[in-house]
A and B are shown apart, each in its own frame.
Chain A
């Protein structure tokens, strides 16, 4: 990629996630917690990735070997909060940006005009369009959270790393008279990472050596999805299984072909 197309930001804090695939059982608790936390409406129909709003989904990976050599793994996929997001620069109306400390890619629903250019730009399918107005069954709308506004049809949305939880953590720090920019590792954790029963999802500041993600992201077993594209995701994955790591990027497929 030509250098001019990269947008470089430097942030003091770089919120990041490290997901240990070898610990993910695909139980779906993160997906459920994400929907509840972020006011993503339920749909009585079976899940349709093409039309249903979703911020976090779990992919099932296969090593493509025959029984009994077969192996399977689960890969939860939030928004990658790319260091060099392919989505933000293309938005014609500045509805999505990567301009805030922490490096979370923002998505502003009342600004979005629904052109879907960002969706075309994102190779992770992290962005979804609201094809329908959101509907909760009668009474269930009482469980709407105050954290995220409901989105009308016609706008794009995506995972925010539960950005509101950072806001809340900063308020709490201010109330305690602490520096809101120096939070405890536990002060700000997205809903998916908080509920994960096996602790597969780690979260923290990738720049802060005191945070576990700082270390995990540098593990020899760490990889990011589609690193070859230059998106520089802030979501890392861990797996000790070679075949899983190879499925993180197309680079390996190419090499495999060369070797064979």
Chain B
């Protein structure tokens, strides 16, 4: 009887361990898929431009506020094509960018790491006093784009800010947390 009991604990431990391994390790791998980005892009390459007249290229040259105060976000194909209408550097990825998108007049389907759901409204200009990196990954010093993980169930990026994070900051800053401030 006592021997039996001893053995009985082992399966329990095994099950316990298996659940832990599954839950913490395997489950996330199943839940998220690394979608990456449609093409490569080097922020450092653009910011530390070798060409003289482009050396003072700044973040806001591509990520700017429109006239109506809305934020342009990822630059459109037209913005990119202003310079890259033809291949300039001989870098292969640039050549594919030009041939695949610029020449075909097809917008690059960038995946947005902070792409919020349709029902979320966010005003960049209202948060203008904060550093970009308080919410976004530091891209200024990134030579390549980080992997983009998509939640297979929800379709959202793994890295988006969750509501409680918004709320926490708003509470800290003594700003309203009214629902309609951020939902549409």
A residues lining the B interface (CB < 8 Å): 94, 97, 99-101, 104, 106, 108-111, 147-150, 160, 163-164, 167-168, 170-176, 180
Least CB separation from A171: chain B residue? B69
Contact present for B184 and A97 (CB under 8 Å): no
Query: What does the 1/0 interface line of B16-49 toward A look like (CB < 8 Å)?
Result: 0000000000000000000000000000000000
Interface residues of B in 119-135 (CB under 8 A from A): 119, 121, 123, 125-126, 128
List the 8 closest A-B pairs by CB distance, nearest first. Answer: A175-B69, A100-B178, A171-B69, A149-B118, A149-B119, A106-B180, A106-B179, A99-B178
Q: How many A-B residue pairs have CB under 8 A?
A: 70
Contact B183 A106 (CB under 8 A): yes
User: How far, in angstroms, from A99 to B117 measured CA to CA in the complex?
Assistant: 22
Q: Does B70 contact A (CB under 8 A)?
A: yes
A175 touches B68 (CB 8 A): yes
**Chain B count of residues within 8 A CB distance of the other chain:** 20
Query: Which of B70, B118, B176, B184 is A171 in contact with, Cβ under 8 Å?
Result: B70
Q: How far is the CB of B25 from chain A (nearest CB, A)?
A: 30
Distance of A179 from chain B, by nearest CB (Å): 12
| Chain B residues touching A, majority SS | loop
Bound Cα distance from A104 to B119, whole angstroms: 17
Nearest to A144 among chain B residues (CB) is B118
Complex CA–CA separation, A164 to B70 (angstroms): 13
Query: Using Cβ atoms and an 8 Å threshold, which residues of chain A touch B69?
Result: 168, 171-176
CA distance A180 to B125 in the complex (A): 11
Is B110 in the interface zone, CB < 8 Å from A?
no
In Å, the complex CA distance between A140 and B118 comes to 18
Residues of chain B contacted by A100 (CB below 8 angstroms): 176, 178-181
- Chain A residues within 8 Å of B179, by CB: 94, 97, 99-100, 106, 108, 111
Chain A residues, Cβ within 8 Å of B68: 168, 171-172, 175
CB neighbours (8 Å) of B183 from chain A are 106, 108-110
Q: Which residue of A lies closest to B123 (CB)?
A: A171
- Pick from A108, A163, A170, A175: contact of B119, CB below 8 A: A108
Does B91 have its Cβ within 8 Å of any Cβ on chain A?
no
Check if B67 is an interface residue, CB within 8 A of chain A: yes
Task: Kindly provide the distance from the CB of B36 to the nearest chain A CB, expressed in whole angstroms.
Answer: 26
Assess whether B123 is in contact with A167, with CB atoms less than 8 Å apart. Answer: yes
Question: How far, in Å, is B64 (CB) from chain A's closest CB?
Answer: 11
Task: Verify A170–B126 contact, CB threshold 8 A.
Answer: yes
Decide: B121 and A167 in contact? CB cutoff 8 A: yes
Q: Which residues of A contact B117 (CB under 8 A)?
A: 110, 149
Which residues from B are CB-within-8-Å of A111?
179
Asked if B67 contacts A147 (CB within 8 A), the reply is: no
A-B residue pairs in contact (CB < 8 Å), sample of 29: A97-B178, A97-B179, A99-B176, A99-B179, A100-B178, A100-B180, A104-B180, A108-B180, A109-B119, A110-B117, A110-B183, A149-B118, A149-B119, A160-B180, A163-B180, A164-B121, A167-B121, A167-B123, A168-B69, A168-B70, A171-B68, A171-B69, A171-B70, A172-B69, A173-B69, A174-B123, A174-B126, A175-B67, A180-B126
Chain B residue contacts of A110, Cβ below 8 A? 117, 119, 183
B139 CB to nearest chain A CB (Å): 24
Chain B positions within 8 Å of A108 at CB level? 119, 179-180, 183
B178 & A175 in contact (Cβ 8 Å cutoff) = no
Chain B residues in 8 Å Cβ range of A104? 180
Q: How far is the CB of A201 from chain B (nearest CB, A)?
A: 21
When the two chains form their complex, are residues B125 and A171 in contact, meaning their CB atoms are under 8 A apart? yes
Interface string of B62-73 (1 = CB under 8 A from A): 000101111000
